[in-house]
Amino acid sequence: MAETRLKQLGGIVARQGILIAFALFLVGFAVFSESFSSTENLTSVVRQSAIIGVMAIGVTVVVISGNLDLSVGSMLSFATVMVVDLHDKIGPGPAMLVMLVAVLCLGCLNGFLVGMLRLNSLIVTLGMLSAIQGLTLIYSGGQNVDIADQEGTWFALFGRGEILGIAAPIVMFAVLAVVMQVVMSSTAYGRRVYAVGGNPTASVFSGIRRSRVVFSTYVISAFCVGLAAIILGSRVMGSQNNVGQGYELLVLAGVILGGTSLLGGSGTILKTVIGVLILGFIQNGLLLLGFAYYVQWLVTWVVIILAVWLDVAAKRGRLFSPIA
């Protein structure tokens, strides 16, 4: 009887581990830091997490399809530099449009190489990470860019403004998350993505065009990077050439923490949002408690390992594998 209950408890922890961890982190930091649970601090954390979160939503779709996208960091650098540079030349509206078209073209290239040519997604996007960073340096001539009239442009709305009293980045993050959650859970397209990631061979025999589905996931990922670039460029009102460096690892960490399997076929947008927020609250909580910045990376590593363990445990139905 006790063994049965233990197995049931292990199954619950394995399936809902991310939610349990999220609650424990919030309670723990709130107990040891009075300022952590303040409305101002919580809002600030969510606002700062919006950029990573928007990108993570797109990458989640890619990972569910059974692939990876490590090019999002360099793509963010390219997109942010472009939208900021074009702002003073052609205006904020056209600048955002041109930037989104350019980024979508990069997404199409990723999708073509991985989806149509069936190349390994890790190798392709790792190569694109370097290529897009080089493209960014070529475009900017190695120079950082800034918006001249930072106080008089409506472009500031996306990163610094509010919508109905809520910070604009939070609204954009939330709306995108809701839309993509509905798309992935309640539409034929979402079911195709899960099918392709869960069993590529069976999906082909079911009449699903795998190449087109994979291609579309990279376009979605690129679009999300474009939105993140608008938020980042609007908030900073400028951009360095390497502003997106390291974001690909943070984004992937958020996706993994959210329980999306790197093997494909499982995961949800909602849990990715929770995973991203966990990263944000870990960093914020450790800083409030007086820990050095590098401690965040060690704690994040531990949490990622725990998330991967829970993911494997959920698939085998128990927390520990039997000793051979």
In tens, the pLDDT along 292-306 reads 777 777 877 777 777
What phi and psi, each to the nearest 5 degrees, are found at residue 163?
A: -125, 115
Asked if residues 268 and 41 have their Cβ atoms less than 8 Å apart, the reply is no
Integer Cα distance of 314 and 157 in angstroms: 42
Task: State the pLDDT at residue 64.
Answer: 96
Task: State the pLDDT at residue 68.
Answer: 94
At which residue do the structure tokens 């725990």 appear? 306
What pLDDT, in 10s, does the model give residues 179-206? Answer: 999 999 999 999 999 999 988 888 877 8
Asked if residues 110 and 71 have their Cβ atoms less than 8 Å apart, the reply is yes
Average pLDDT, the chain: 86
Integer Cα distance of 309 and 314 in angstroms: 9
Integer Cα distance of 165 and 208 in angstroms: 44
Asked if residues 260 and 61 have their Cβ atoms less than 8 Å apart, the reply is no
Task: State the pLDDT at residue 47.
Answer: 92
At which residue do the structure tokens 């798309």 appear? 183
Task: State the pLDDT at residue 317.
Answer: 58
Q: What is the DSSP letter of 265?
A: S
pLDDT of residue 1 exceeding 60, the answer is: no
CA 207: distance to chain centroid?
30
pLDDT of residue 279 exceeding 70, the answer is: yes
Integer Cα distance of 310 and 320 in angstroms: 10
pLDDT: is 33 or 242 the higher one? 242
Give which of 10, 49, 31, 32 is closest to 253, Cα–Cα: 49
pLDDT of residue 315 exceeding 70, the answer is: no
Quote the pTM value: 0.89
Integer Cα distance of 193 and 133 in angstroms: 29
Kindly indicate the confidence band of residue 67, based on its pLDDT and cuts at 50, 70 and 90. Answer: very high
Three-class SS state of 146: strand
What pLDDT, in 10s, does the model give residues 124-175? Answer: 999 999 999 999 999 988 888 888 888 888 999 998 889 888 999 999 999 9
